[in-house]
C-alpha cells in the first residue's frame, strides 16, 4: 500500500519554530510531527510514503533518510512549483500513487495528530464498497470547520456544509482519507480543493463514506492547538498504559521525558509536559503544559507554563514564562525575566520582561 502526506507550505502559523525547520519536522511529543504519521502507516503495512511539498524538499528528504532506513519504508517527495491546494498534489503525484495492484491509498494532512486507526479504516473501506472513505471527528465548535452530514448507520456522506452559521451537525473532516485510484481521474492538475471540489462530487454519486474517528484528534498547526494536542496525546498514552510516561515523586500527571534529559532536585514537572533529548533542568524548576525541545537548559527556580521552548534555548533563574510564550531556536532569556505570551524569533537574547503578548524580532 502507498500513502500521500499533504505537507504543503511554509507553516506560518507555527512561526517562529518553522523558521528553523519545515513544519512537519517540528518536534511534537519528542519526535518530528510527520514521524507519528509515518510510523502509523508503516505499522499497517504501507510500503511507500509520498510527501506532497512545495517548500524545502531537500531539508525534509535529508532528514527522513535516516528514518527511511530505520523503518524500512520508502519516502519520496512530489514537489509543487506552485501551491496546488489539497487535491492538486494528488494529480501531481499520480504516477507515484498508482501501481498494478489497484489498491486504495491513504492521504493524510500533515498537521493532524490522532491515534490513527488506519487498520479499522481499511476494513471500513472494504466493507462499504464505495470509492472513497474519509475520517470524521466530533467537535464542540463545528462553526469553525466544514461539517460533514452523513447517514449514521452506513456512514454514507450526504453533503458538506462549510462553516455553518446554524447547527447542522458536529462531525468534521479529520484530514485522513482512503481513496481508490479512480479518484485520481476526477482531479485536474491545477490548484484545487479536495474538500470543496472533489468530495462533494463523489458524495453526489453515493460513493463517499465517512467513519467516525475513535479516540482523540487535533490539528496542531498553531501553538494553542499544539499545546492542547500534547495534552490529548499524553492522555491517550495514559489510557494505553504506555511505559513511555515518566514516573517519580517530582512528576504530576502525564509527562514525557527523554532518557538523555537531566532533571535536578526539587523540581515539579507536569501535567502535560514533554522534555526533549539533552535537556538540562536545574533544581527547583516548575514546568506545566509545555514542550521543552532538544538541548534546552532551564536554570534554577524558573517557572514555565502553557508555552513552547524551542531547540537549544536557555531560560534564566527565577524567570517566568507563560501564556503561550513561544521561544524560537537558540533564544536566551535572562534571569528573573517575565514573558506573558511573547513570541520570540530565533537567536535572540531577552533581557527585559515581555508584559503583554507580542512578537519580538
> Mind listing the pLDDT tens digit for each residue in 203-247?
999 999 999 988 898 888 888 889 999 999 999 999 988 899 999
Q: What is the pLDDT of residue 270?
A: 87
* Range from 8-17, 232-241, 314-323, 335-344 carrying the lowest mean pLDDT: 8-17
Q: Which residue in 205, 198, 204 sits closest to 173, CA to CA?
A: 198
3-state secondary structure 273-304: EEECCCCEECCCCEEEEEEECCCCEECCCCEE
CA distances 28 to 17, 215, 273, 275, Å, are 12, 18, 11, 10
What residues contact 342, with CB distance under 8 A and at least 6 apart?
325, 326, 327, 350, 354, 357, 358, 359, 360
Closest by CA position to 109, among listed 231, 226, 189, 24: 24
pLDDT of residue 286: 97
CATH for 223-359, among 3.30.1890, 2.160.10, 1.10.510, 2.40.50?
2.160.10
Instruction: Quote the mean pLDDT of the chain.
Output: 90
Q: Residue 307 carries which DSSP code? A: E
Between 321 and 193, the higher pLDDT residue:
321
C-alpha cell at 245: 510516561
Q: Which CATH superfamily is domain 2-219 in?
A: Spore Coat Polysaccharide Biosynthesis Protein SpsA; Chain A (3.90.550.10)
Residue 347's pLDDT is what?
95
3-state class percentages of the chain: helix first, strand second, coil last, to nearest 5? 25, 35, 40
Q: Where are the domains of the chain?
A: 2-219, 223-359
Contact partners, residue 330, CB within 8 Å, separation at least 6:
310, 311, 312, 313, 346, 347
| pLDDT value of residue 135 | 93
* 164 or 135: which leads in pLDDT: 135
Fold match between domain 2-219 and domain 223-359 = no
Question: Predicted confidence band at 56 (pLDDT cuts at 50, 70, 90)?
Answer: low
Residue 95, burial from CB neighbour count under 10 angstroms (0-12, 13-18, 19+): exposed
Amino acid at each position: 500500500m502507498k500513502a500521500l502526506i499533504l505537507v504543503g507550505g511554509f507553516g506560518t502559523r507555527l512561526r517562529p519554530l518553522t523558521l528553523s525547520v519545515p513544519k512537519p519536522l517540528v518536534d511534537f511529543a519528542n519526535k518530528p510531527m510527520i514521524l507519528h504519521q509515518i510510523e502509523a502507516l508503516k505499522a499497517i503495512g504501507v510500503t511507500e510514503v509520498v510527501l506532497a511539498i512545495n517548500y524545502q524538499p531537500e531539508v525534509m528528504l535529508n532528514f527522513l533518510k535516516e528514518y527511511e532506513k530505520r523503518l524500512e519504508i520508502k519516502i519520496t517527495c512530489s514537489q509543487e512549483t506552485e501551491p496546488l491546494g489539497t487535491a492538486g498534489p494528488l494529480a501531481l503525484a499520480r504516477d507515484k500513487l498508482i501501481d498494478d495492484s489497484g489498491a486504495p491509498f491513504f492521504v493524510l494532512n500533515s498537521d493532524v495528530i490522532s491515534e490513527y486507526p488506519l487498520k479499522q479504516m481499511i476494513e471500513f473501506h472494504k466493507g462499504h464498497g464505495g470509492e472513497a472513505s474519509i475520517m470524521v471527528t466530533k467537535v464542540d465548535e463545528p462553526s469553525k470547520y466544514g461539517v460533514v452530514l452523513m447517514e449514521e448507520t452506513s456512514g454514507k456522506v450526504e453533503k458538506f456544509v462549510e462553516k455553518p452559521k446554524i447547527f447542522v451537525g458536529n462531525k468534521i473532516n479529520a484530514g485522513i482519507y482512503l481513496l481508490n485510484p479512480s479518484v485520481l481521474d476526477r482531479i485536474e492538475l491545477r490548484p484545487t480543493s479536495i474538500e470543496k471540489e472533489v468530495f462533494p462530487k463523489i458524495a453526489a454519486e453515493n460513493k463517499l463514506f465517512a467513519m467516525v474517528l475513535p479516540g482523540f484528534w487535533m490539528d496542531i498547526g498553531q501553538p494553542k492547538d499544539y499545546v492542547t494536542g500534547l495534552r490529548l496525546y499524553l492522555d491517550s498514552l495514559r489510557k494505553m498504559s504506555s511505559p513511555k510516561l515518566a514516573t517519580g515523586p517530582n512528576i504530576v500527571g502525564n509527562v514525557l521525558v527523554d532518557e538523555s534529559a537531566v532533571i535536578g532536585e526539587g523540581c515539579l514537572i507536569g501535567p502535560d509536559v514533554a522534555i526533549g533529548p539533552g535537556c538540562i533542568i536545574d533544581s527547583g524548576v516548575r514546568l506545566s503544559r509545555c514542550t521543552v525541545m532538544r538541548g534546552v537548559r532551564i536554570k534554577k527556580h524558573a517557572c514555565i507554563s502553557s508555552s513552547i521552548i524551542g531547540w537549544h534555548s536557555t531560560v534564566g533563574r527565577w524567570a517566568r514564562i507563560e501564556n503561550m510564550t513561544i521561544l524560537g531556536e537558540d533564544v536566551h532569556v535572562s534571569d528573573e525575566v517575565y514573558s506573558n505570551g511573547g513570541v520570540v524569533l530565533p537567536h535572540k537574547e531577552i533581557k527585559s520582561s515581555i508584559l503583554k503578548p507580542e512578537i519580538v524580532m
